[in-house]
Amino acid sequence: MAPESRRRLITIAIVAFVLGILIIPSLFSSKTIKTVSYSMLIHDARHSEVISASINNSSGVITGQLSNGTNYTTNGPAPALTDEVNTLKNNNVTVTFANPSSFASTFLPYLIWILIFVGFFVFANRQAKGQMNGMMSVGRSKAKQFSEDRPKTTFADVAGYLGVKQEISEVVEFLKTPARYKEIGALIPKGILLVGPPGTGKTMLARAVAGEAGVPFFSVSGSDFMEMFVGVGASRVRDLFATARKQSPAIVFIDEIDSIGRKRGAGVGGGHDEREQTLNQMLNEMDGFDPTEGVVVIAATNRPDVLDPALLRPGRFDRQIVVPLPDLEERLPILQVHAKGKPLDPSVDLAMVARGTPGMSGADLANLVNEAALHAVRRHSETIGMEDFESARDRVMMGQLRDTMVLNDEERQRIAFHESGHALLSYVLPKTDPLHKITIIPRGMALGVTMTLPEEDRHIMSREHLEDSLCMRMGGRVAELLVFGDLSTGAADDLQRNTELARRMVREWGMSKEIGPMAWGANNQVFLGEDLMHTRDYSDHTSQVIDDEVERILREQEARAIEVLTLHRRGLEAVTSALLEHETLDGETAARLIDEAHGEPVHAHGTKTVSSLTGVSRAAAKNPTPEPALSPVATKPNWQPPTLPAV
C-alpha cells in the first residue's frame, strides 16, 4: 500500500473510533428515562409505586424503575439519608448502592484521549523515520526492473530494422543459452551502444529486448544518476550494477547516456565534478565485469560524438549499432504498425504514403498517422482517407496552416511571384527533386511554400544536384528582381541555406577547382571546449580564396536562375496568376501551365512532378533517354554572370 493511502486509512480509523465511543452508547438506550423530583420519589415509594432504586453515594443520583415500567432518575442528597433509605426498604423497594470508585466511569474518558495522543505521536515518528530513510537512500539506484510477468514489447512490435534486431537478438540468445557461445569460445559484448537520430526507436528496441529476454531487465535514464550532491551519481551506479550482478544474467539499459558520458575535462570553466565522478564509476564497473557474469549493458544516444573515448573502447561498449532513419522499405511496415486498429478507407495506399514521406523517423510517421486521424475527425468522417494523410503530411512537413493571416494585394502578388520562381526552376532544372505543391497560404513561419519530394531515398548527392538545388532556391529572389526590379526580405532563409550549402561544398566536399581536394573546419562543439583555444587550420589567403569561391558559386547559380526564368517568363506569369486565383496548386497543374506557356513540353518524356499522395511521380530523370538541353546556360555550370538590373 502506498504511504499516502496508508496515512489516509489510519486517519479515518482514528476518527471512526472516537465517534463510535461517543455515539454508540447512546444507541443502546432504547427505554425512556423520566426525571422526577426527590420528594416525589419518596411520596411514590410510600404509595408502593417504586420497584427499585440505585443510589450513588458519591454524586447523590438515584435511578430505578417505577411500578408502571418507566425508568426514572433524580438527584438526592449525597450521601443518602438513612431514614429515607429505610423508608424505601420498608415499602418493598429494592435498594442498591453504586460503586463510587468504578474504573470505567472514572478513567475511561481520560484513557480515550491518552490513546489518541499516543497514536498521533507514533504516526509522526514513523513519518520522520520515512523521511530520514529517504535521505539515506539518496544513493540507491532509480532503475526500474522489468520481470517476466510485466507487459512486454517484442521484436514483432518493432517494424523494420532487421539488421539491428539481429545484432541485439544475439545478446538475448546469449543470455538465454550461454552454453552455445561458450562451447565455441565466443564472448558476448559487454556493452552495446545504440546510435541514431531522435525518434528512430532506440528505446523501443530496448523495450523489445526486455520483452524477448527471459531475464531481469533494468531500465534507467542517464539523468537519474545526476543530483546536486557530489558522489550521489557514483553511488547509484554502484548500486545498479551490484543489483544486476545479484540477479544475473540480466540486462541494464541506460537511456540518453550522453548526459553522464560526455568527455571529461571539457566545457567552459572546466569539468563537472558530479558527472565526471559518475562516469569514472561507470567505467570502473564495466571494467570489473567478468564475462561469465552474464550482465550486458545497452545504452542509447543520439550524440555519439560527445561521448568520452574511454567509454567507447573495446571491453566497455564493444559494439555500436547504428539505428538510422527508416528507408522506403522500412517506412511501410512502420506505418502499418501505427495504423493498426484504425478505420482506414479502402482507397488508402500506405505504400504511397511511405513513398511520399522520405526522411521521416518512426516518431514522425506515428505523428503523421495521428494527424491524419485528427483531420478525419475534423471533417466528420468515420474513416481515414488519403486526403487526411495528404493534409497531415503538409502539416508535418510545411507547418500549421495560418489561413487567418491577412495579406494585402501587393504582398500576395510578390509572394506569388516568389513561390512561382521556386516552382518553375524546380520543374525545369533536370537534377532537382520533383515538384509537389505550391501555396501562398502562410504555413508555419513561412508566408508561402514550394514543396518538392525526392523520388527515392538519396544517400549521397552529386555536384550537379547541389548546384540545381542552389539555383532553385535563388528562384524566389530572382523572380522578384525580374518582375519588380527590387528585392524584399522574403529570400532571407533561402540565402542563408544557400550560403551554408555553398560553403560546405568548398570547405568540406572539395567541389572547388581553386581549393582542390582539401577539407577544413571540422564542426567541433564549443560546449565541449574543443574550439575555445583552437586556431584556424588554414591561412588568411586560403580563407580569402574560400570566400571568393563561395561567392562565385552563388553568383553563378543566381545568373543561371536569371537566364532560365527569363526564358520561361510566360510560364512564371501563368503560374503566378493561377496562384493568385486558387492560392494552392499541385505540381501537375503547375507543370501543365509551364508547358503550355512554353509552347511545348519542357520535358520531352513526361512531367517531373509528384502531385499528391494519390498521384504517381512522373520524372524524366528515370527515362534512359538524355534530357534535351534547355539552353547553354541551363546545363553548364561555368558561365559569366550577366549584368543584373539596378536595385
Grade residue 176 by pLDDT with cuts at 50, 70 and 90: confident
Cα first-last separation, the chain = 77
Give the pLDDT of residue 128.
58
**pLDDT on residue 293:** 65
- Give dist(CA 425, CA 608) in Å, integer: 11
**Which band of pLDDT confidence, cut at 50, 70 and 90, is reported for residue 500?**
very high
Average pLDDT over every residue of 255-259:
81
3-104 and 409-523+536-635 in the same fold: no
Instruction: Of 357, 362, 346, 325, give the one whose Cα is nearest residue 157.
Output: 362
User: What pLDDT was estimated at residue 242?
Assistant: 80
Q: Using omega within 30 degrees of 0 as the cis cutoff, is the peptide bond preceding 454 cis?
A: no
Average pLDDT, the chain: 76
Of 591 and 79, which is predicted with more confidence?
591
- pLDDT at residue 6 in the model: 65
- Residue 338 has a pLDDT of 87
Catalytic residues: 419
55, β-bridge pairs: 62, 97
Q: What is the mean pLDDT of residues 308-329?
A: 82
Burial class of 230 by CB neighbour count within 10 A (0 to 12, 13 to 18, 19+)? middle
Q: What is the pLDDT of residues 158-168, one digit of tens each?
A: 777 777 877 77
147 in the Ramachandran plot: left (φ > 0), alpha (ψ -120 to 50) or beta? beta
CATH level 2 (architecture), domain 144-322? 3-Layer(aba) Sandwich (3.40)
Can you spell out the DSSP letters for 62-129? Answer: EEEEETTS-EEEEE--SSPPHHHHHHHHHTT-EEEEE-TT-HHHHHHHHHHHHHHHHHHHHHHHHHHH
Bridge partners of residue 63, in order along the sequence: 54, 73
Partners of residue 96 on adjacent β-strands: 54
Supply the Cα-derived Rg of the chain in whole angstroms. 43
Is the separation of the CB atoms in 344 and 315 below 8 Å? no
The CATH class for the domain spanning 3-104 reads alpha beta
Task: Output the pLDDT for position 135.
Answer: 43
Domain ranges (residues) in the chain:
3-104, 144-322, 336-396, 409-523+536-635
pTM exceeding the 0.75 threshold for the entire prediction: no
Q: What pLDDT was estimated at residue 178?
A: 75
Rounded-to-integer distance, Cα 252 and Cα 285, Å: 12
Grid cell 510545411 — which residue?
398
Worst-scoring range by mean pLDDT, 60-69, 346-355, 531-540? 531-540
* CATH numeric code, 409-523+536-635: 1.20.58.760
Whether 560 has a pLDDT exceeding 90, the answer reads yes
Rounded (to 5) percent helix, strand, coil in the chain: 50, 10, 35
Lowest-confidence pick of 108-117, 227-236, 383-392, 570-579: 227-236
- Dump pLDDT digits (tens) for 383-441: 998 888 888 887 887 777 776 777 788 888 999 999 999 999 999 998 888 888 898 88
361: CB partners within 8 A, 6+ apart: 197, 198, 199, 200, 201, 325, 326
- From 130-144, 182-196, 350-364, 578-592, the region with the lowest mean pLDDT: 130-144
**Quick one: how far is CA 188 from the chain centroid?**
32
Q: What is the pLDDT of residue 558?
A: 93
Distance CA 256, CA 205 (A): 14
DSSP, collapsed to helix, strand or coil, labels residue 483 as helix
Better pLDDT: 79 or 588: 588
Q: Which of 435, 450, 360 is nearest to 398 (CA)?
A: 450
pLDDT digits (tens, 9 = 90+) for 3-50: 566 667 777 777 777 666 666 655 555 456 778 887 887 877 787 788
Domain 336-396: give its CATH code. Answer: 1.10.8.60
- Neighbouring residues of 247: CB distance < 8 A, sequence distance ≥ 6: 216
pLDDT of residue 115: 76
Per-residue pLDDT of 268-309, as tens digits, reads 444 456 677 777 777 777 776 555 566 788 888 888 878 888
| Residue 369, H or E segment | helix 362-378
pLDDT of residue 498: 93
What confidence tier does 351 reach under pLDDT thresholds 50, 70, 90? Answer: confident
238: cell is 554502484
